[in-house]
Structure 1
Amino acid sequence: MAIQFLRGNSRAPKGHAIFIVRNRSNTQNIFCTYCVIPPIPMSIAKYIPPLLAAQLPTEELQDSDAITGMPIPPIPEEGQNLEYLEMLAEYRDDDLCEIGTVSSKDDMSRMNLAAEGCQEYGQLYASYIANLQTQKRTESHFTMEELDADSLVLHAMPDRQKLAELGKLIGTARYAIGGHDQKLLRETEQKMLSLSQTLAEKYRGGELVAAAISSSERGSKLSELYLSRAYKLLDEEYADIPDIEKAIRELKDAS
């Protein structure tokens, strides 16, 4: 099995993911489950009733320290469309992964696919955590001395002010593009990147910056849509976001 990340990064799994399984006879029809990797190692054997424990392999009961993914529910359920799951993953900051196709009438295959997907996702997560333990993570351990005055100001800004500044910089970037001022465009891009990196991933700051510095008219429209989407997230106006997401997809598909 090869898990496909529709949202998130296989090199840095979050430890919680929405899994989707497509119906083999109709790929628009999907099943879904939720995979959770316990952050604290635990022995499942401690919580299994003796009668049930007697039916499980001894090696599984003894492997108490392994990081194991758990699909909830065990059998992927039908009933949600992909657009809704994408929106849900965005709001909850979950990974969104496609794990394969299966017959809609084969519950056992669905259950096995979910279990295998969780096992593979758990291995990716375990590798990521192991790497974190051996690497120096300077990104999240900077000191006051390591930050210049501009960085301190950016980190102290509330999100609304950051978005307002990004809006101004979008205008500057478009002006630089229109005037073929590469120096101004590079300076503006750097400011936007520095600012976007202080925002949560859900705001898609990197995509906003990429659109803003694009020389195409489509880039201008995309950057405005990304900014509008960020404000809707900030104001928790979630009902308006699907229309913006649709407009973004249509612009991207038109390229």
Structure 2
Amino acid sequence: MDLRFLRGDPQAPKGHAIFFARSSEDERHIFYTYCVVPPLPLSLARYLPSILAAHLPMDEPNVQVMPIPPMLEELEGEKGLDYLQVLARYRDDDLCELGAIHPRDEAAKMQLAAQACQEYGQLYLNYSASFEQAASSSSSREGLPALDDLDPEELLFQTMTDRQRLAELGKLVGVARYALEGNDTHLLQETRQKMQRIVRLLPEKYKGNALITAACDAGKHSARIAELYLERAYKLLDEEYADIPRIEQAIRELQQSA
């Protein structure tokens, strides 16, 4: 089968995707599952009683990719494809269409989910070879990380959680505004570069580059717009999605009145 990516790049899958299929009787009815590729092989045998683990195939001890749930389930209520698209955007998931399926064919729902996961897993495996090679090339001759080639501040940013990175961005917004008020171009450039290094480590859904643009802009509403982008990022982090439209509307209004 061929996965149709409505969101994401088949050449660079994220490792987590929402799958959906339409009912062959009524395309408004959507069936879905969620596909996860563990970052490292997951051995289920470690978490099962020995009497059950003994029945696992010895040649396939690790889970490489899995659908959750293991079969396509109907999307409840009035939710449809629009809902899945919004969900995938805010969660930064891939979104893949699987085609049509008979709504009462339970075996087909399970088989389609399994086949789609295997194909997605292969795409991810192909993609992962690139960053595995990058990891290998960054090692020293002894096989240890080449820490001498990394900036201490960069290492700090890499070890931070997304919440800590957003907090650091919030501090740097204040520094950028101070540099603008004092016409300190050197400090502003230095602060912008530091913010860019943090943003590169954050998912695109946080709109970090837009935050940087606003923070480093001298426009009359730029400081407030930067605050709103930061607030929006925290709302996404805390999964408070209901507040997002209000914040985005406020940003648009300020941009239009600038």
The verdict on a shared fold, with TM-score over 0.5 as the criterion, is yes
2:6 paired with 1:2:
no
2:188 paired with 1:190:
no
Letter in 1 for 2:197: S
Identity, % of aligned positions: 37
CA distance in 2, matches of 1:221, 1:113: 48
SS in 2 for 1:17: strand
Contact 2:32 2:74 in 1 (8 A): yes
C-alpha spacing 1:194/1:139, structure 2 compared with 1 (3 Å) = farther
Give 1:208 deviation, angstroms: 1.8
How many equivalent residue pairs? 230
2:32 paired with 1:19:
no
CA distance in 2, matches of 1:40, 1:116: 19
CA distance in 2, matches of 1:154, 1:66: 32
- Taking structure 2 as the reference length, the TM-score comes to 0.58
Q: Where do 1:22-33 residues align within 5 Å?
A: 22-23=22-23, 29-33=29-33
Q: What residue number does 1:115 align with?
A: 114
C-alpha spacing 1:41/1:96, structure 2 compared with 1 (3 Å) = same
CA distance in 2, matches of 1:157, 1:34: 27
Of the three residues 95, 98, 102, the one matched with 2:96 is 98
Structure 1 window deviating more from structure 2 (124-133 vs 216-225): it is 216-225
Give 1:213 deviation, angstroms: 0.9
C-alpha spacing 1:75/1:171, structure 2 compared with 1 (3 Å) = same
Give 1:89 deviation, angstroms: 8.8
Give 1:117 deviation, angstroms: 1.7
Contact 1:99 1:117 in 2 (8 A): no
Structure 1 window deviating more from structure 2 (136-145 vs 184-193): it is 136-145
2:231 paired with 1:228:
yes
2:170 paired with 1:167:
yes
Give 1:76 deviation, angstroms: 1.1
Give 1:106 deviation, angstroms: 5.5
SS in 1 for 2:209: helix
- Taking structure 1 as the reference length, the TM-score comes to 0.58
CA distance in 1, matches of 2:111, 2:249: 33
Q: What residue number does 1:125 align with?
A: 124
Q: What residue number does 1:76 align with?
A: 72
Give 1:99 deviation, angstroms: 1.9
C-alpha spacing 1:40/1:98, structure 2 compared with 1 (3 Å) = same
1:92-113 superposed Cα distances (whole Å, 9 cap, x missing partner): x8x4422234256363654454
Letter in 2 for 1:119: Q
Contact 1:67 1:122 in 2 (8 A): no
Give 1:4 deviation, angstroms: 1.1
Contact 1:21 1:99 in 2 (8 A): yes
SS in 1 for 2:73: strand
Give 1:193 deviation, angstroms: 1.1
C-alpha spacing 1:209/1:33, structure 2 compared with 1 (3 Å) = same
Contact 1:32 1:78 in 2 (8 A): yes
SS in 2 for 1:213: helix
Contact 1:11 1:124 in 2 (8 A): yes
